Amino acid sequence: MTTKNKITTLLLSTSLSLASCAIAAEELTVWAWDPNFNVAAMNEAASRYQQTHADFSLTVMDSGKEDIEQKLHTMLASGITNSLPDIVLIEDYNAQKFLQAYPGSFAPMQDTVDYSQFAPYKVGVMSIDKNVYGIPFDSGVAGLFYRSDYLSQAGYSEQDMQNLDWDQFIEIGKQVKQKTGVNMLTYDINDVVLPHIMMQSGGEWFFKEDGSLNIADNQALKETLLTIKKINDAKIVRPTSGWSSFVGAFNAGQVATVTSGVWIIGSIKSVEEQAGKWRVAPIPRLKLEGAKQASNQGGSSWYVLNASANKQAAIEFLNATFAHDTDMYQKLLLERGALATYLPASSGAAYAEEAPFFGGQKVFQDFAKWVGEIPQVQYGMFTQEVDNAIAAEIPALLKGEPVDEILKRVENNLKYQIM
């Protein structure tokens, strides 16, 4: 090869190498689940960002939540980070497990992101000491969805549903059952959705701020289990097992209420014949000092991996979209039902729209108000493990075993399992 050819080859090689680096710097990869919700939201954000950043590109790897969590655990534990994405979606209940188990693996963003613009409870989920990781995304803010036609037949107005505690809810449920033959709600003894909502509304979780167990002396949890027992004893419950059974019950008109996160709206609206019959009220409160009529169920957030070669680009992209673009959140709300935890978005036009399915109620405006009232709690590293232990004790609770004894047993068993 001539000297000239060698120089040409070297220049070409260098040019290709630089082009490759440029492409790598401009392209981000994301791991997320649910193509109609989280994946769609991320693609919408990328599309908007590209309007002002022409060289920007992003690829979302759509996979199941459990698959993503398992791959993330495996790679972070092994230290093999070259196959990790730039951005990953993590469910709020599991955020602390990843942040604490793999310190230094996620990029802190408090120097870039204005977290005062997000719902406080959501920021707490991703905070350790003075560092805040991740960009908050959707809210699982809870509401009491109810069939206004059933409640009306039992003699109750929409106003009667606005300021309830759980004892009042139970009494209304008895009247609904007596006058319409319809149970007030569903309950799956293997599911912890309702206990989660109740307990967080009381301002407590399974763990204290320092990460230690908060079971035996957890007054919100105790009141939650006592309330579950009261609801069961009142015989206003339709037993269900699994998601399909749960959704099928209210879709078939077999229950008068559903207490769940805002994301349940899509399932409720799937039966067009029920349009106009549903309304939403604040959740009932526990009979506990300081308890709120606001809580959360579910929700996830976006995190940037420290090992990412494009870490700063990923942070800048997330900050420009999910932490600033209120118009994007309007579109995501109307098209995907994604209720933002970015507080300025709640003043947008989409949040003020009347919902015909809910009798013209401005449901998203109500949910946006409740987001700011959700008590901030410490989800800790082992929510799933405690969930399993509590669910295993529900049959004993319903049979009448004292709540204090159940909670002491759960805490003692968990001390050996997770602490």
Q: Which residue has the higher pLDDT, 291 or 13?
A: 291
* Residue 9 pLDDT exceeds 60: no
Give yes or no for a contact between 329 and 348, defined as CB atoms under 8 angstroms apart. yes
pLDDT category at 380 given cuts 50, 70, 90 is confident
Q: Which residues are CB-neighbours of 248 under 8 A, at least 6 positions away?
A: 240
User: Is residue 217's pLDDT more than 70?
Assistant: yes
CA 151 from centre of chain: 29
**Pick from 251, 210, 246: which is nearest to 381 by CA?**
210
Q: Which of 374, 398, 155, 355 is nearest to 283 (CA)?
A: 374
The predicted pLDDT at position 419 comes to 63
Q: Is the pLDDT of residue 238 over 80?
A: yes
Both tokens assigned to 340: 């933002």
Judged against a pLDDT cut of 80, whether residue 3 lies above it is answered with no
Mean pLDDT of the chain: 91
Radius of gyration of the chain (CA): 24
The answer, as to whether pTM is greater than 0.85, is no
Higher pLDDT, 380 or 18: 380
- 134 closest CA partner among 312, 274, 303, 339: 303
The reported pLDDT for the residue numbered 26 is 62
What is the model's pLDDT at position 112?
97
pLDDT digits (tens, 9 = 90+) for 240-271: 998 889 999 999 999 999 999 998 888 898 89
**Mean pLDDT, to the nearest integer, of 129-153?**
96
Percent of the chain with pLDDT strictly greater than 70:
94
